[in-house]
Structure 1
Amino acid sequence: MEKKNNIYLIGFMGAGKTTIGKFLSQKLNYNFVDLDLHIEKEQGISISEMFEKHGEKYFRDAETESLRKFSEKSNQIISTGGGIVIKDENWQIMRNRGVSVYLKSSIKTLFNRVKHKSTRPLLNVENPFEKAKELFSSRESLYEKSDIIIDREGLEPGDVADAIVRELDI
């Protein structure tokens, strides 16, 4: 099978994957897909509800199926969920179909972006900052397996999109 030219945006919740993905989509004239939004639409419930009713494994399986489905196409900017990196199968799909880009920020910056959003089921706990630190710590080395790492600390989304285009040499 031919290698696809999809771009997978990877990073912790609050990294700006969706926002930057939309910028990239316009710059490169690629189709934009937000996996989380697609899964919610397909399942007919929010991700928070999915976690509550069916558990995290159910969501992760739906996430892998959506990733596989959209990866069959070319010229896609795919905004992934923050936990996409925990399954080897997802890495295999992304490596075979395009390039992964890790949008790196500090845990403090990331948490400040998401702390007031109730749509983050993994942070609906007594001490959300500690939980975020724990999750981030467990995933950081996985994120760093990405083909390209962009440190987006202090950069506006448009600047991050420009940096990605430069790195991709498109």
Structure 2
Amino acid sequence: MLQRRDPHSRWSGKPIVLVGLMGVGKSTVGRRLAQRLGLSFVDADNEIEAAAGMSIADIFDTYGEPYFRDGERRVIARLLDGRPKVIATGGGAFINDETRALILQTAIAIWLDAPLDVLVDRVARRDHRPLLRNRDPATVLAELAATRNPIYAEAPIRVPSDHNPHDVTVKAILEALDA
């Protein structure tokens, strides 16, 4: 069920930032949403890799998660330049207090939320996520959901992302934004 907790969360031309756990569809939904709105789309993870000149997995392996999160925060701050666009963030971006505050102040944050079984099914399709290496995806995702979902809930708009086609999620976002 679509939830809009803040009646002032309608889209006003601010950047739209998609947040949520890995596998929820932020990048895929974000591309389609941007296309529907006639906006540019930016995947923060791709921007981080371009800025670092290495993959996220390599950043984690070489420098560790704290280093990655600091770079992620700086890249997202650069992307939030006030121009209308759709930004897909990595699953941990909104968890950082400073990044979350910046997103909530300068953009419309939309939490894409999905049941655990949907997330497990989606992340099983690709083997590139550092937090899942050598671990059971269902266990990791359940742990992440327990700690991160209360923080994602700070986003003014929550949209479910389940087994339906991604266009259903895009339509729900457009309805929430009255766009």
TM-score by length of 1: 0.93
Partner of 2:176: 167
Q: Secondary structure at the match of 2:170?
A: helix
Q: Letter of the aligned partner of 1:33 in structure 2?
A: V
Partner of 2:25: 16
Are the equivalent residues in 2 in contact too, given 1:20–1:161 (CA < 8 A)?
A: yes
Task: Determine which of 58, 62, 67 is the counterpart of 1:58.
Answer: 67
Task: Determine which of 27, 31, 44 is the counterpart of 2:36.
Answer: 27
Q: How does 1:123-162 map to 2 (within 5 A)?
A: 123-162=132-171
Deviations 1:34-58 (A, max 9, x none): 0001111111111111101000001
Gaps of 5+ in 2: 1-11
Deviations 1:57-78 (A, max 9, x none): 0110111001100101411100
Aligned residues: 168
In 2, Cα distance between the equivalents of 1:54 and 1:118?
20
- Displaced runs of 4 or more, over 3 A: none
Task: Determine which of 105, 108, 114 is the counterpart of 2:114.
Answer: 105
Are the equivalent residues in 1 in contact too, given 2:57–2:130 (CA < 8 A)?
A: yes
| Higher RCO (Cα < 8 Å, 6 or more apart) | 2
Gaps of 5+ in 1: none
| Distance apart, 1:155 and its partner CA | 2.4
| Distance apart, 1:123 and its partner CA | 0.4
Are the equivalent residues in 1 in contact too, given 2:60–2:130 (CA < 8 A)?
A: yes
Deviations 1:16-37 (A, max 9, x none): 1001011111111111000001
Deviations 1:74-95 (A, max 9, x none): 1110000000122111111111
Q: Letter of the aligned partner of 1:130 in structure 2?
A: T
Cα RMSD after superposing both structures: 1.4
TM-score by length of 2: 0.89
In 2, Cα distance between the equivalents of 1:151 and 1:84?
19
Q: Letter of the aligned partner of 1:86 in structure 2?
A: I
